[in-house]
Chain A
Amino acid sequence: MPTPDTVRLRSVSKVYGSAPRSVTALDSVTTEFPAGSFTAVMGPSGSGKSTLLHCAAGLDRPTGGEVLLGGTDLGGLDETKLTELRRERIGFVFQSYNLVSALTAAQNVALPLRLAGRRPRPSEVDGALAEVGLGARGTHLPSEMSGGEQQRVALARALVTRPAAVFADEPTGALDSKTSRDVLTLLRGVVDRHRQTVVMVTHDPVAASYADRVLLMVDGRITEELTGSLTAESIATANRRGTSC
Chain B
Amino acid sequence: MLSIASIKSRWTSFIGTFVAVFLGVAILSMTGLVLLSAHPTVPERYRDTPVFAQSPTVDQQDSMFTDGKPWSAAKAGDLVVAFEQIPGVARAIPDRTFYAQPVLGGDPVTDVDQGYPWSAAELAPYRLASGSPPHQADDVVVPETLGVSAGTTLTMLTAAGPAQYRVVGTVDGPGIYLSDSEAARMSPGVRAIGLRLDPGADQDAVQAGARTALGADGQVLAGAARAELEPMADQRVRWIGDQVLTGLGSLSAFVSMFVVASTFAFVVAQRRRELGLLRAIGATPRQVRRVLFGEALAIAVVAGLLGSVLGGVLAPVLGDLLISAGLEPRTFVVETQLLALAGAFVVGLLVAMAGVWAAGRRAARIRPLEALREATVDSTPMTKGRWWAGGVCSGIGLLLIGLTVLGDPEDMTTNSLYAAMALIVGSTLLAPVVIPPVVRLLTAPLASSAVGMIVRGSALTAVRRTASTAAPVLLTVGLAVLISGMVETSMGGYAAARELATRAVAIVIPNGTPGLSDQAATASPGAALLPTELYTDDRRHFPATGIDPAAFAQANTKLDNALDGLVGPDTAAITASAASQLGVRAGDTTRLTFEDGLLVTLRVVAVLPNSAAPTPILLPRKTVRDHAPTALTAAVHVLGSPPTTAPLGAQALDRAAYAASADADEDRLVRIFVALLVIVALGYTALSIANTLLMATASRITDFTTLRRAGATRRQVTLTAAAESALSVTIGATLGFLIALLALYANATGLSHHLGTPLSLSIPWQVPLTAITLSLALALTATTLPIHLSLRHRPLT
Which residues of A are at the interface with B, using a C-beta cutoff of 8 A?
A: 54, 59-60, 79-80, 83-84, 86-88, 92, 94, 97-103, 107, 111-112, 114-116, 157, 161
Contact = CB atoms under 8 A, between A and B. Distances in A.
Contacts of A84: 282, 284
B273 A97 contact: yes
Interface string B94-118: 0000000000000000000000000
A102 B369 CA distance: 20
Contacts of B278: 100, 111, 115
B8 A102 contact: yes
B281 A115 contact: yes
B371 A112 contact: no
Given A84-B282, A88-B282, A103-B2, 12 more contacts: A79-B285, A83-B282, A100-B6, A100-B274, A101-B9, A102-B6, A107-B1, A107-B5, A115-B278, A115-B282, A115-B283, A161-B282
Interface in B233-290: 273-274, 277-287
B368 to A, nearest CB: 5
B140 to A, nearest CB: 77
Contact of B10 (A54, A102, A115, A157): A102
Given A84-B284, A92-B280, A157-B281, A97 B9 contact: no
B523 interface: no
Contacts of A60: 367-369
A114 B291 CA distance: 12
A116 B286 CA distance: 12
B270 to A, nearest CB: 13
B8 A80 contact: no
B9 A102 contact: yes
Interface of B: 1-2, 5-6, 8-10, 273-274, 277-287, 367-369, 371-372
Contact of B371 (A79, A97, A101, A114): A97
B282 A86 contact: yes
A59 B5 CA distance: 26
User: Chain B contact residues: over half helix, strand or loop, or mixed?
Assistant: helix
Contacts of B282: 83-84, 86-88, 111-112, 115-116, 161
A59 B277 contact: no
B281 A87 contact: yes
10 closest Cβ contacts across the A-B interface? A87-B282, A102-B9, A102-B5, A83-B284, A102-B6, A59-B368, A80-B284, A112-B282, A115-B282, A115-B283
Contacts, number: 69
B280 A59 contact: yes
17 contacts: A59-B280, A79-B284, A80-B284, A80-B285, A92-B281, A94-B371, A97-B372, A100-B2, A100-B5, A100-B274, A100-B277, A107-B1, A111-B282, A112-B281, A115-B284, A115-B287, A116-B282
Contacts of A79: 284-285
Contacts of B273: 97
Nearest to A104: B5
Contacts of B372: 94, 97
Nearest to A101: B9
B279 A83 contact: yes
A97 B374 CA distance: 10
Contacts of A92: 280-281
Nearest to A90: B282
Contact of B283 (A83, A98, A157): A83
B272 to A, nearest CB: 12
A116 B284 CA distance: 9
A57 to B, nearest CB: 9
Most-contacted residue by chain B among A59, A84, A107 (CB, 10 A): A59
B46 to A, nearest CB: 64
Nearest to A96: B372
A107 B281 CA distance: 13
A97 B279 CA distance: 13
Contacts of A99: 277
Contact of B281 (A80, A101, A102, A111): A111
Contacts of A80: 284-286
Contacts of B287: 115
A36 B2 CA distance: 34
Contacts of A98: 277
A87 to B, nearest CB: 3
A26 to B, nearest CB: 14
Contacts of A115: 278, 281-284, 287
